[in-house]
Amino acid sequence: MLSISVKEFLFWKKKQLSKGGDDQSFAVLLDFIGGIPTSHLNALILNPEGRIYLKENLDYLGSIWEDHLLNSTPIQYLCGFTFWRDLELNVTDKVLIPRPETELVIDIVFKIFGKESKKLFFAELGTGSGAISIALALAYPLWKGIATDIDQDALDLAARNYLNSTQQSNLKFYCGHWWQPFESFKGKLDLAISNPPYIPKDIYEKLPKEVKNFEPKIALLGGEDGLMHIREIIKDAPLFLKEKGWLILENHFDQGEKVKQLFIKNSFTLVEIVKDFSGIGRFTIGRYK
Ligand X SMILES: C[S@@+](CC[C@H](N)C(=O)[O-])C[C@H]1O[C@@H](n2cnc3c(N)ncnc32)[C@H](O)[C@@H]1O
102 lies in the site for ligand X, by CB under 6 A: yes
- Options 74, 145, 197, 286; binder of ligand X; rule CB under 6 A: 197
d(Cα 49, Cα 219) in Å, to the nearest integer?
47
Residue 74 interacting with ligand X (CB under 6 A): no
Phi-psi region of 48 (alpha: psi -120 to 50; beta: other; left: phi over 0): alpha
- Asked if residue 146 binds ligand X (CB under 6 A), the reply is no
For residue 131, give Cα distances in angstroms to 97, 136, 170.
9, 9, 15
DSSP string, 222-282: --SSS-HHHHHHHHHHHHHEEEEEEEEEE--TT-HHHHHHHHHHTTEEEEEEEE-TTS-EE
Residues 6+ apart with CB under 8 A from 221: 197, 199, 201, 204
Phi (first) and psi of residue 60, to 5 degrees: -65, -45
196 contacts ligand X (rule: CB under 6 A): yes
Tell me the one-letter amino acid at 133: S
Minimum distance between the CB of residue 174 and ligand X, rounded to whole angstroms? 10
User: Any contact of residue 178 with ligand X (CB under 6 A)?
Assistant: yes
Residue in 31, 32, 68, 98 binding ligand X, rule: CB under 6 A: 98
Interface with ligand X, residue 218, by CB under 6 A:
yes
201 binds ligand X, rule: CB under 6 A: no
Residue 200 is a binding residue for ligand X (CB under 6 A): no
Count of positions on this chain that bind ligand X (CB under 6 A):
23
Judged by beta carbon, residue 34 or residue 197, the one nearer ligand X is 197
With binding defined as CB under 6 A, does residue 177 bind ligand X? Answer: yes
Between β-strands 51-54 and 2-5, what pairing exists: parallel, antiparallel or unpaired? Answer: antiparallel
> d(Cα 283, Cα 273) in Å, to the nearest integer?
6
- Residue 76 contacts ligand X per CB under 6 A: no
7 versus 177: smaller Cβ distance to ligand X: 177
96 is an interface residue for ligand X by CB under 6 A: yes
Residue 286 in the binding site for ligand X (CB under 6 A): no
| Angstrom distance (rounded) from CA 24 to CA 68 | 13
Which CB, 10 or 90, lies closer to ligand X?
A: 90
Q: Of the candidates 25, 76, 195, 284, which one interacts with ligand X according to CB under 6 A?
A: 195
Q: Is 227 in the site for ligand X (CB under 6 A)?
A: no
Q: Strand pairing of 144-149 and 121-125?
A: parallel
d(CA 20, CA 205): 25
CB of 35 to ligand X, least distance (A): 26
Positions that interact with ligand X (CB under 6 A): 95-96, 98, 102, 125-129, 131-132, 148-151, 154, 177-178, 195-197, 218-219
